[in-house]
Amino acid sequence: MQIFNTLTKKKEDFVPINPPEVTMYVCGPTVYDFFHIGNGRTFIMSDIIRRYLEYKGYKVKYVMNLTDIDDKIIRKANEEHTDTKEISERYGNAFLEDISKLKIKKADVYPKATENINDIIKMISDLIDEGYAYNVSGNVFFNVNKFNGYGKLSGKKIDELEAGARIEINDEKTNPLDFSLWKKAKEGEPFWESPWGKGRPGWHIECSVMSLKYLGKTIDIHAGGSDLIFPHHENEIAQSEAVNKNQFVKYWVHFGFLNIQNEKMSKSLGNFFTARDILNKYSAEAIRLLFLQTHYAGPLNFSEELLSASEKGLEKIKNTIIKIKEIRESHKFGNEISELDFHYFKKQFEEAMDDDFNTPRALAVIFDFIKNINSEISQKEKLDEQFYIKADDYLTSTAVNVLALADLNNFKNESRNNLEDALIKTLIDLRIKAKNDKNYQLADEIRNRLKEIGIELMDSKTGSTYKIC
Ligand code: AMP
Ligand code: ZN
């Protein structure tokens, strides 16, 4: 399997540090509002990587942090005349609800900055002790010139970065690129006690602390949106490698932006849809199908028209899975053997995903498989059980388990509803037959017995319908 590594700027063979374990860290949201579907792309594509690693037999340890203290949270709390804890809990919970609706698997841990203040203070102290950081009247900064290799992820040199980067001007810093590790509390801001006075942690240090605490000094995969390459991830490397004296991350994975009319979807531009609003109109599976049609690293234009088209594309997958499951449950098999090469389709799917998670190619394989399966079913009189077992296994392991394009729990409810409906209609037919035979006693008994279990029949000239009371 190969992954494009932002650090080396090439596709590399994936060799985890301690197989079968794979450690994976994804930068999570700042919880000051509902997240938008652009953030959702990053969360969904990280989930696809994790699911595929699990398909390959790896045991993935997955950590996603929640930034629960930061300027935006403080601003929101002030606007609403409440405290930052109330805001971060409200939107932290909303985040967990929304990612679950997007069928994203739960992380092993969702560490929060405010619950790890002691560890953050410890790492900052270590950085100061080792000469990588300095305190200016309660503000602590990381000195980028002290870290050899600053710029290795973004591929830029310090002097180029100084010229080009949009960074805050601050007289306290030795170098404009130096970044905050600890921010002195301003009047009315929430704070924690520290050796440098009352304050709160900077954003970047949070991720270095959490990944060390939960995943160790070197992690296999670190992922996030490509806007995080600089400065966030560059700074994470500097902090972690300065303290740990070990390579911080083996494979850096960055996701392309979700755009609206070729412009990055973002809160500040106002061109966003919250995941919550989109989920009220479209299924999680349609959103996933839309995202999977583009490689994770490329830009992706978002529109509701594309989502509606995905909803249609999804029907093909869903209907085929339901058909196969229903035939399996009916046990009505024949003895015709299919020549279909299941192994070929499995190999094709794996080759696509092994090639830096090429989901557009993997999808094409799945749709080709579905076309072949359906033509086999329609051409052959009665296929044997093996055919259906293999088809079911293939779609479950690829479309359902890796890509999460269908939810088997929903199907069970759907097919149970279909079964109930068919049973009631059978009883209605039998009652009509009884009436035609002038067996009114039996007809009434059917009506009464159905009523006892909460099903009311309604007769009209055109026949009977029912309602469940
Ligand atoms: P934030 O809450 O802004 O820190 O973003 C959370 C995650 O979403 C980060 O990994 C960002 O890089 C990512 N992200 C933000 N906007 C977009 C976008 N338009 N497309 C894809 N990912 C994004
Ligand atoms: Zn981070």
DSSP 16-76: -SBTTEEEEEE---B-SSPPBHHHHHHHHHHHHHHHHHHHTT-EEEEEE-BB-SSHHHHHH
**Residues 362 and 438 placed together within one structural domain of the fold:** no
| Ligand 2 centroid from CA 298, angstroms | 21
Q: Is the CB of 133 under 6 A from ligand 1?
A: no
pLDDT over 70 at 271, yes or no: yes
Q: Is the CB of 447 under 6 A from ligand 1?
A: no
Residue 416: what pLDDT?
Answer: 63
Q: Which residues of 326-348 are buried (b: 16+ CB within 10 A; e: fewer)?
A: ebeeeeebeeeebebebeebbeb
Mean pLDDT over residues 117-145, rounded?
98
Answer yes or no: is 304 within a domain.
no
Last residue of a domain, one of 280, 302, 325: 280
DSSP string for residues in 126-162: HHHHTTSEEEETTEEEE-GGGSTTTTTTTT--HHHHH
**Residues 314 and 269 placed together within one structural domain of the fold:** no
**Residues 367 and 242 placed together within one structural domain of the fold:** no
Residue 399: what pLDDT?
Answer: 98
Mean pLDDT over residues 96-119, rounded?
98
Mean pLDDT over residues 1-29, rounded?
98
**Residues 335 and 387 placed together within one structural domain of the fold:** yes
Per residue in 40-75, pLDDT (tens digit) is 999 999 999 999 999 999 999 999 999 999 999 999
Mean pLDDT over residues 445-464, rounded?
87
**Confidence label for 435 from pLDDT (cuts 50, 70 and 90):** very high
**Residues 350 and 422 placed together within one structural domain of the fold:** no
User: Where does 356-407 have alpha helices with state H?
Assistant: 359-379, 385-395
Order of strands across the sheet that contains 139-142: 133-136, 139-142, 179-184, 199-201
Q: Is the CB of 311 under 6 A from ligand 1?
A: no
Give the residue, 157 or 192, on which the prediction is more confident.
192
Mean pLDDT over residues 340-344, rounded?
98
Per residue in 148-172, pLDDT (tens digit) is 999 999 998 888 777 655 555 667 8
User: Which CATH number fits the domain that encloses residue 403?
Assistant: 1.20.120
Q: Is the CB of 40 under 6 A from ligand 1?
A: no
Q: Is the CB of 30 under 6 A from ligand 1?
A: yes
Answer yes or no: is 388 within a domain.
yes
Answer yes or no: is 288 within a domain.
no
Q: Give nearest CA residue, ligand 1 atom 12.
A: 225
Answer yes or no: is 390 within a domain.
yes
**Residues 358 and 433 placed together within one structural domain of the fold:** no
Answer yes or no: is 171 within a domain.
yes
**Residues 351 and 274 placed together within one structural domain of the fold:** no
pLDDT over 60 at 410, yes or no: yes
**Confidence label for 419 from pLDDT (cuts 50, 70 and 90):** confident
Phi-psi region of 459 (alpha: psi -120 to 50; beta: other; left: phi over 0): beta
Where do the DSSP E strands lie in 189-290? 199-201, 219-225, 249-255, 258-260, 263-264
Least confident of 94-98, 331-335, 414-418: 414-418
pLDDT over 80 at 418, yes or no: no
| Ligand 1 centroid from CA 136, angstroms | 31
Q: How many domains does the chain have?
A: 3
The ligand minimizing its distance to the Cα of 229 is 1
The ligand minimizing its distance to the Cα of 30 is 1
Q: Which of 315, 331, 322, 311 is nearest to 417 (CA)?
A: 322
Answer yes or no: is 177 within a domain.
yes
Residue 408: what pLDDT?
Answer: 83
**Residues 113 and 196 placed together within one structural domain of the fold:** yes
**Residues 371 and 239 placed together within one structural domain of the fold:** no
Answer yes or no: is 378 within a domain.
yes
Mean pLDDT over residues 23-41, rounded?
98
Per residue in 368-384, pLDDT (tens digit) is 999 999 999 999 989 99
Least confident of 59-68, 261-270, 339-348: 261-270
**Confidence label for 80 from pLDDT (cuts 50, 70 and 90):** very high
The owner of tokens 């394989």 is 365
**Confidence label for 414 from pLDDT (cuts 50, 70 and 90):** low
| Ligand 1 centroid from CA 325, angstroms | 38
**Confidence label for 415 from pLDDT (cuts 50, 70 and 90):** low
Q: Tell which atom from ligand 1 comes closest to the C-alpha of 30.
A: 2
Maximum distance among all Cα pairs of the chain, rounded to whole angstroms: 99
What average pLDDT does the structure give for the chain? 94
**Residues 100 and 182 placed together within one structural domain of the fold:** yes
User: Which CATH number fits the domain that encloses residue 97?
Assistant: 3.40.50.620
Least confident of 175-179, 416-420, 463-467: 416-420
Give the residue, 418 or 106, on which the prediction is more confident.
106
In percent, the amount of the chain with pLDDT more than 70 equals: 97
Q: Give nearest CA residue, ligand 1 atom 8.
A: 39
**Residues 202 and 276 placed together within one structural domain of the fold:** yes
The ligand minimizing its distance to the Cα of 25 is 2
Q: Which of 403, 329, 462, 411 is nearest to 55 (CA)?
A: 403
Q: Give nearest CA residue, ligand 1 atom 15.
A: 39
Residue 459: what pLDDT?
Answer: 85
**Residues 346 and 320 placed together within one structural domain of the fold:** yes
Amino acid at 329: E
pLDDT over 70 at 397, yes or no: yes
Q: Which of 399, 392, 397 is nearest to 365 (CA)?
A: 399
The ligand minimizing its distance to the Cα of 249 is 2
Domain range enclosing 435: 418-468
Answer yes or no: is 305 within a domain.
no
